[in-house]
Structure 1
Amino acid sequence: METHRIEELERKIQEYETIISEMSAPIIPSIVPQTILIPITGLIRAERFDKIRGNVLNFIHNKDIETAIIDLTDISGERIEDVCLEEIGRELHELASSISLMGVKALFVGMNPELVKRMVLDGIKLESQSFSTFQAALKYLMKQKGLEFRKISE
């Protein structure tokens, strides 16, 4: 009886960990057509990047996605656990490269100065454009696609 209860609790824990993992890097359709937003939130651990990369690649597979905006606004020194900034830079490079191989352009937004400094000092290059904010990236994409906001008069 006790073994059954423990197995049930372990199954529940695994289920909750999966839900939390998916929530910590959701994939959100953007107002710009064929564009998704991927906000990376929560504590950063090495194993999370593999899950994030897998989720993103599975999502864009066979979908009409041209651009993925990866939002790092929530990532700061205290949010990084057991991962050095250099490793995060490498993981971001691998994420952008993977997305690119799927035919999707990666844009990064919200990088903090500490992460940027470490990436530059460690010689990590992203072959992706970066913007200070999500709004700046959206403005750029809208201009690229010939889209604009218009006020609708009543």
Structure 2
Amino acid sequence: MNPIESIREEIKQFINESGDQFENKLLSEAVNVSTKITDILNRGNIDLLKNAKLMVFYIIDNKEEELVSFAKQEGIAWAMHSLTLELKLEWVQAIRRTIWHFIHILDEQKDIITDRKNYYILEKAINEKMDRFLNSFFLNYSNYKDEMIFQQREMVEHLSVPIIPVKQSVSVLPLIGAIDSFRIRVIEEKVLNDIAESRIQTLIIDLSGIAVMEMDVIDYFEKILAGISMMGCKAILTGLRPELVKKMVHAGIRFEKDAETRGTLQDTLKTFL
């Protein structure tokens, strides 16, 4: 066993034997977190003290793969239960200070670090592992939050694409508000799926609530109309506003091939009701 490995074993054994002293020191280093230990346990079934010991041993044993996997698990758990990054950062920094506190005590008692070079090697290894844990934790926390936001937005956007049946095989899709590149894709998915599932033969798309569309969105909308036609459904556009028509005309976009255009939604519905 080389000197560094021997030092690691001494540190691990000392921390393991310290038990309550290690936990008390850790809690004293993380004042804000220590008052929320029970709350975090109840809220997310996250045992901070047990997890801190596990993390410390992964670091001391130089088990990077296990440490990164543990950081991922922790990041997802903290994001899932909406625990703040501020608390996690305070807790990890408290763990860092506590590790070095116990290394200092052990070295005073047993003089385990006799070579300055070994001290620097140990310091570099431990602090790099701590930083590796934090990087992986923050990355997975952020990814989980981003995915939650994406799913919530997707759900909201699906709800904002109300396809309303007005009679058998005839439905209305009133579009309101801004349509960006994300929302136009949601519209495409919702429209094509509903045509297939509900056997819609005529879909009236009312655009009176849309004043402006960017050119990339207009181009995508044209493709949606082609898709509607390919599925054997007739698209009728109503409520086209002058600003939007002008933009389409100057861009050379024509909907006549795949859709019929009419004046207002009210007048169009009279034809079917």
Q: If the TM-score is normalised by the length of the shorter chain, which range does it land in?
A: 0.7 to 0.9
In the other structure, the counterpart of 2:267 is: 136
TM-score by length of 2: 0.45
TM-score by length of 1: 0.76
Distance 1:76 1:66 in 2: 27
Distance 1:23 1:64 in 2: 20
Of 54, 59, 70 in structure 1, the residue corresponding to residue 205 of structure 2 is 70
In the other structure, the counterpart of 2:80 is: 7
Pairing 1:2-151 to 2, within 5 Å after superposition: 3=75, 4-8=77-81, 10=145, 12-30=148-166, 32-77=167-212, 80=213, 84=214, 86-126=215-255, 127=257, 128-140=259-271, 142=272
**Amino acid in structure 1 at the alignment position of 2:270:** K
1:8–1:76 CA distance, 2 compared to 1 (3 A): farther
Moved more, 102-111 or 37-46: 37-46
Superposed CA RMSD: 2.1
Give CA-to-partner distance per residue, 1:128-150, whole Å, 9 cap, x none: 1112211122123x2xxxxx6xx
1:138–1:18 CA distance, 2 compared to 1 (3 A): same
In terms of Rg, which structure is larger?
Answer: 2
Aligned-residue offset at 1:45: 0.6
SS in 1 for 2:191: helix
Distance 2:239 2:81 in 1: 40
SS in 2 for 1:72: strand
SS in 1 for 2:225: helix
Distance 1:25 1:8 in 2: 30
Aligned-residue offset at 1:53: 0.7
1:15–1:92 CA distance, 2 compared to 1 (3 A): closer
Distance 2:268 2:220 in 1: 21
Between Structure 1 and Structure 2, which shows a larger proportion of helix residues?
A: 2
Note the residue ranges of structure 1 that are not aligned, 5 or more in a row: 143-147, 149-154
SS in 2 for 1:73: strand
1:59–1:7 CA distance, 2 compared to 1 (3 A): same
Percent identical pairs in the alignment equals 32
CA contact (8 A) 1:24 1:42 kept: no
CA contact (8 A) 1:89 1:115 kept: no
